[in-house]
Structure formats: structure tokens, C-alpha cells
Amino acid sequence: MDLHLSGKIALITGPAKGMGAAITLAFAREGCDLILAGRDTNAIAPVAQTAEALGRRVLVIPCDLTDTARCQGIVDEAIAAFGRIDILVNVAGGAGPMGKTGWETTRTEFDDIVTLNMTGCFNTMRAVLPHMIARRSGHIVNVGGTFGMRGRAGRMAYSASKWGLRGITKSMALEAGPYGINVNLVAPGMVDGDRFGTKVVPTAAAKRGISEEQAVAEHAHEYALRRITTDEDVANACLFLASPVSRQITGVDLPVDGGWAVL
């Protein structure tokens, strides 16, 4: 199926590594030119170079997404360079405190992750939507998480931030819909990547007194499909929701988790 993304201009936050890099390169392979925004431009550079090798135009812009004025600045720079923004994909975010109950979580820990995961997306959406509204066209995809759909013991602050992002997404979908703009959320479950392999699995194995292979199998057994999500699974969902093929879909939470959120 042709997703009709060739020639589109996509602004992607958090493109440096893991899921963000996979999403960025998936859009590049579909023919999108890219604006890549994040704090560490050195970390973004290899991804940008790979996208350029695919023939894409790429603009890398340093940005602290919690800075409202700076987010407006990256949108202004992108419009000046490319003339428009067709797609916004908010990947950037953080994990927050792990293994802490809600009463053990400090106010600073709570504020930091809510500010990053909610305010960062709000800032970019607030900056880009007037341009999309003027053109009566646009797709926004926010990357949330299934812990913001079911909750998770020991991850209260993170769950709260991703639950809140769902509310932002749905409300803005209702507000932007009359202008022909789709706003959706992709909610990955546990993703097979660096953190899963070097932190989650070894910690689970040590806690349960089992091998890392057994720990991976136990994680997979929690999901209906009995397999762990990959970065490419998440990237494909983002491509779909950012494309004209999904023209009649807005305000949805799309779990990409092998069936964990429904169990």
C-alpha cells in the first residue's frame, strides 16, 4: 500500500536513538523531508546523515521541548526552511522514577516527568497547529505508552504523564478536527531495545532468580501475541497515523503492545 507520504515535511522530536531513530528513518524511507529537534544535536547527527543518504532534506534544530518559546522558534525555523509542516511526531520523552510507589515519589520527580512528557508535546502542538489550521491540513502523532492506559505499580509518575498526554491528544483532536487535522496517539508497550535488554531483563532475572532468556520469555507471555514489540512496529503505526490513508481516524489511542493493554 502506498501511504502517500513522499514529499511530505515531518517535524520529529526525540529522533536520536532507539524508537525515535527508527521512526525517523521510517519516515525518511517513505520519502519525507525532515526537521529533527532535540537537545543533543551530536546524537541526532548520525540519524540525520542516514536520512540524507536516502535523498532526504534534513534540518537539525537544538531544542529543549519544555521551553515554550524555543518550541515556537523551531517551528518558525522549519517553516522558513521548508515552507510548511505536514506532520508532527512527538517521540521525545522520559521514563521518570522506577520502582517507587506514589508516596515515595518526590514532588520534583513527579513534576519533571510530567513537564517533559506532557508539556513538551503541548508546546510543539501549540506552535505547529496554527500553521496546519491555516492550510486546513496536517497530521499529529504523539507517542504515549500503555502504562498510561492501564497504570503500573512502581511507575505512577510516568503513568500519570502518559495518561495526561492521552487527554491532550483527544481534546486537541476535537479542536483541530474541523480544520481537517488528525491528532492521534501511539501507545507502545515494552519495546525490545537498549533499556529492555540492559536494564529491564537483567533486573527481572536477578529478582526472580532466573536466566535472562527466561525473563524475556516471561515478558512475552504477558502479551496475547507472545512476542515483544520492536521499534519498527511502533514506527509502522506512526507512519499509518501520519498518512492520508488514515484520513478518517482521529483522537484514538493505538496500543502497539502485542495485546498487553487489552488483557
Whether 158 is a known active-site residue: answer: yes
- Helix orientation angle between 68-82 and 120-135, rounded to the nearest 10 degrees: 40
C-alpha grid cell, residue 213: 532468556
Q: What share of the chain is helix, strand, coil (3-state, %, to 5)?
A: 50, 15, 30
What does the angle CA 256 – CA 22 – CA 112 come to, to the nearest 5 degrees?
Answer: 75
Query: Whole-angstrom Cα distance, residue 117 to residue 122?
Result: 9
**34: β partners:** 10, 58
Position 246, amino acid:
S
Question: Cβ of 107: how many Cβ atoms within 10 Å?
Answer: 7
Point out the catalytic residue in the list 158, 163, 223, 260: 158
**139: β partners:** 87, 182
Catalytically active residues are 158
